Structure 1
Amino acid sequence: MDWPRLDFAAEQDVYHSAHLYLQLIGKLPTRLHPWENHGWHVALKITPSGFVTRTIAANNRIFSVEFDCQGSNIVVDCDGKAVRIIPVTGQSVAALHGELADALTALGLPVPLHGAPNELPEVIPFKDDDRKRAWDPDVIARAHGAFSRADAAFSRFRAAYLGKSSPSHLFWGSFDLAVTRFSGRRAPPHPGGFPNLPDRVTREAYSHEVISAGFWLGGGDVDEAAFYTYAYPSPDGLGDAKVAPDAAYWHDELGEFVLPYADVAAASDPEDRLLTFLESTYEAAAHLMDWPDDVATSRASYGRPTQEV
């Protein structure tokens, strides 16, 4: 299966629009679902069509909201019976805020859509952001295709770990797909400092030692789609570790290993190339952090356990 072409330089304005739309949707589980450790409940799941909230219970009903990347719609599904579809056309965040609020109200659901985006340096409250947004259905469909292929590899990587691990899930604050492994040991308090995000949220997310891998469409100090791996707390010497494949490198400013998406997409076996990166960077960090040797198994295969049981 081919991995879709991505072009950050040409497509970043559409990515930013999608990021802001997802921020609006992401507020719902934040305010209507019991808090789970490390904020896992707020993350979105990858579907064949797009990104969806987990099922939320409210007002004696259950519902979810999906950002349909393949159809450029937002779909509110309530009780599996009542559906509201909001076309995404590049409207302002304020306009989408109003449309989503109307859809939720019509279904008898709560509307906790107040506030502003998180983890962005400059934010405008949702209801006040009336700037028209760049949009291209083909761009977001291809971006979703890249997330979907990364999700499949991340899920396979997760399956080879016997300790506590997050699912592969999309965090709308940073607009990245992530899968995180835990040693079980407490970590020192995180310094926080993420823009427009309370430090208490960051410190709870990093309450325990982690080695985390992810994928994002580009931005900040990396102007291309890329995969990454980092550890918290980051051990001394991690940046000097030898990892694979050859295209992977240590990014000093981010404190992460980075592998360009283009290198993976061009490989004869993209999933194998990505798994090689995930496995080698995990091994480098786990060795330096003195994690147990018996929690990571051989690469997970389909249809059989990862070890004898």
Structure 2
Amino acid sequence: MESRGTSWPSLEVEAWGSTRETLHMWLQIVGKLRMVGSPFVNHWWHVTFSLSARGLTTGAIPVDGGVLDIEFDLLDHRLVLRTSDGGREEFALTAMTVAEFYRRTFDALGRLGIALEIVPTPNEVVPAIPFAIDEEHCTYDPGQVHAFWQQLIRADGVLRRLRAEFRGKASPVHFFWGALDLATTRFSGRPAPVHPGGVPNCPDRVMVEGYSDEISSSGFWPGGGREGAFYSYAYPEPAGYAETPVPEGAYYDPALGEFLLPYEVVRLAEDPEALALEFLRVTSAAAARLGEWPAIG
């Protein structure tokens, strides 16, 4: 038997496509609730989820002088809504349409006496089917979702170590529901060229704010490899960055403008955490060196 926390689970991207697409829409619904209920934070840091001991959580959302939090419990597979006055609502995460999940979530909020309104269509996907009429996405495999969460837990440990090594401005390690990626971002302290936008079904102002400063971003997402990938990129990308030597198995993808290290390469390595951390260290250092970032004391 493997000791707790040492295994890196396998989950092929193609195998869980239907469940992933459904979960993605559910996460967007709840993520938008956090977004509209929270004060704005630079680079959209107020919209993200964090990992918890049971799944993914919004953390505290200020409501009516109190606090709401919403958690995807991926052990018992339930959506749990809690308020600081003791209120609690929950329902099972099981095969259901996005429209049904949307209705159940807002019904639960209503029973808690909370009124929040979101733009009821998804972002960063094509087509963007309005949540209330999305009968297409309706698959939920608990084992696949649990395996994805376990992948995120392994990635979270690597990204937290990477973030701790940087003394300048850096984001938390957090999960973005737009693209389903877990990420942390370093900042040079200088403004960046205005981002051109162009992300499907996402206002350009979102990208303009997100990339308002020079950055080096590192993360994990369920794409880029047979089982997902660690990634690293810089904005703006400095000259020579794409030629940075990286560990075996990693490569630069010119279409994405990112370095990728397939998750399956990491999983099969003798020391998965060390390989992932080396990849992210090397690419982050190259972004700072080639971009001539100011020294951070």
User: Which residue does the alignment assign to 1:92?
Assistant: 97
1:113-192, aligned counterparts within 5 Å?
113-192=118-197
Given candidates 29, 38, 41, the residue that maps to 2:34 is 29
Q: Is the partner of 2:214 in helix, strand or coil?
A: strand
Matches within 5 A, 1:41-120: 41-79=46-84, 81-120=86-125
Tell me the secondary structure at the aligned position of residue 233 of structure 2: strand
Asked if structure 1 preserves the Cα contact closer than 8 Å seen for 2:266 and 2:272, the reply is yes
Which of 228, 231, 235 aligns to 1:232? It is: 235
**Is the CA contact 2:225–2:264 (under 8 Å) kept in the aligned structure 1?**
no
- Secondary structure of the 1:250 match is strand
Alpha-carbon RMSD across the aligned residues, in angstroms, is 1.4
Secondary structure in structure 2 of the residue aligned to 1:231: strand
Equivalent runs, 1:214-233 vs 2, <5 Å:
214-218=219-223, 222=225, 224-233=227-236
Would the aligned equivalents of 2:173 and 2:182 in 1 still touch at CA under 8 Å? yes
CA–CA distance in structure 2, aligned partners of residues 13 and 54 of structure 1:
27
The separation in 2 between residues aligned to 1:137 and 1:64, in whole angstroms, is 22
Secondary structure of 1:134 counterpart: coil
Contact kept, 8 Å, 1:249 with 1:259, in 2: the verdict is: yes
Q: How far apart in 1 are the matches of 2:60 and 2:289?
A: 38
SS of equivalent to 1:131: coil
- Which residue of the partner structure matches residue 260 of structure 1? 262
Figure out how many residues of one structure are paired with residues of the other and give that number: 292
Contact map agreement 1:183 1:292 (CA 8 A) in 2: yes
Residues 257 and 136 of structure 1: CA distance in aligned 2, closer, same or farther (over 3 Å): same
Q: What runs of 5+ residues in structure 1 fail to find an aligned partner?
A: 296-309
Q: Distance in 1 between matches of 2:111 and 2:64?
A: 13
Q: Among residues 283, 290, 293, which one is paired with 1:281 in the alignment?
A: 283
- Give the superposition deviation at 1:81: 2.0
CA distance in 1 between partners of 2:215 and 2:143 (Å): 35
Unaligned 5+ runs, structure 2: 1-5
State the SS of the aligned residue for 1:23: helix
Letter in 1 for 2:200: P
Matched, 1:10 2:12: no
1:61 Cα deviation after fit: 2.3
- Residue 263 of structure 1 aligns to which amino acid in structure 2? V
Superimposed CA distance per residue, residues 233-280 of structure 1 (whole angstroms, 9 cap, x where no aligned partner): 01122111112x211100010010000001111122211111101101
CA deviations over 1:15-51 (Å, ceiling 9, x no partner)? 1111111001001121111110000010100112111
Percent identity over the alignment is 41
Indicate if the aligned counterparts of 1:121 and 1:196 stay in contact, CA closer than 8 A.
yes
SS for the counterpart of 1:10 is: coil
TM-score (norm 2): 0.95
1:169 corresponds to which letter in structure 2? H
On the 8 A contact 2:49/2:57 being kept in 1, the answer is yes
> Of the candidates 265, 290, 309, which is equivalent to residue 292 of structure 2?
290
After TM superposition, the score normalised by the length of structure 1 is 0.91
Q: Is the 8 A contact 1:71 1:137 kept in 2?
A: no
Q: Secondary structure at the match of 1:180?
A: strand
Distance 2:189 2:145 in 1: 37
Maintained 8 Å contact 2:225/2:263 = no
Contact 2:220–2:229 (Cα < 8 Å) also in 1: yes
Deviates more, 1:74-83 or 1:273-282: 74-83
